[in-house]
A and B are shown apart, each in its own frame.
Chain A
């Protein structure tokens, strides 16, 4: 994230996608890029951590195994409290989403690493996966009864059209809000970090006074780095919680 290219301090540079291995199928570019590399890395880090830490299958967990178990129980209790026990069939999906987003966010905190969750297409695809699951499962389980989601019970007849319109719009805006929230948080955080870190570099280049003045942006950079670690977790958590709530709609459409 803090990698500056040459002399120019360009906060947008870190989001550029570079092809590593060109791959062209039917005129469409499917190249293996730095984004692809970090997707692979995210999956590898998360999987290796979870598999190696639980390899011992200790009755009394070690530190690593405890972390794996805690992440399991954390996501499980989030899902159970938001959508009930019958939502546990979606547990693998929710857990995968949480771990993928969380590890991707954390990897993005490593200098020079690419942040895949700062790409709107990635977050949007994940959000569409959630909404698609909700919609398909909702209609599969309840048939037309799933449409009751848009008609809240106990609403007087004359406001039903208005409420239904609002419900439909809110349902359609879910993938947008879900994906933009994660994308914008990661993007903005990394740009801010880069800008303040850039100030430090620029000021230290301006002589003794500049080095003294650079303390301020340096302190801010440190503070924002800490904040970004919090955001990395928080956004993964928010994404997970919202996923759970949407899944609750698929399971129990009449609210």
Chain B
């Protein structure tokens, strides 16, 4: 039996949806299993980090790494797998752009811990216990991975060869990437594997000149089935989001959330959504602009939902304007 290429999959700071998406290949997962020798996939099989550490450098052919980097463990595995892998793929929106975990960059670690462990209405923590990096127990020292101030993308921590966007990536996108890897027909390193047009290109809805008087939440209106959702006042990031998903959301009346990230060449996804939307507001005065934007709750969340950590903003300063000073290891993207 000839040696099969070795495949690793890892799940850092993410929801697990990317893992499901791989399984969502259905019977084609068998082709993957047949084509590759899966050497590391902690979500579905039992591997230990020590197993990976024991491998030779560059011995893994492809690593599909999903999830953002937000603690020392994520970073440790990112560095480890990078060292062991020939091709590193940032798999899914969290690894590519930070995605949902990355929205934590709108706040900071202390404020977040304060909310989660003390203030949130569902918290019952009379002793005020918070997770510590080190905890002394009679059996010895218990260690948790250090929690970072700032969520980073995989590429901000280690060099990444390819990006496969999507929350999660569609089966067709995964298939395309896997085939490209298997046949060696890969774009230049650093590329996003996917088309270089936006969701509008695949969306069958009719587009007209746009003038938006107000935004609606999806429950507020029943949109016309044939007309562009944005024109009808439903927030849709499809104008600024890379296609490849088949425009699935807008086709069923739900505006694009933007999970495939910015189009080719764009550095700041949120800024592009923002300028696109701002360009078509039907307003003559600043007051009218404010009134229209008041109908769009949480604009920062809408615009930067998938790409805050790799935007030009990256994160906000502390609410009191203080600069957040991260430890040197975190600033360097290394585990402590």
**Same complex origin of A and B:** no
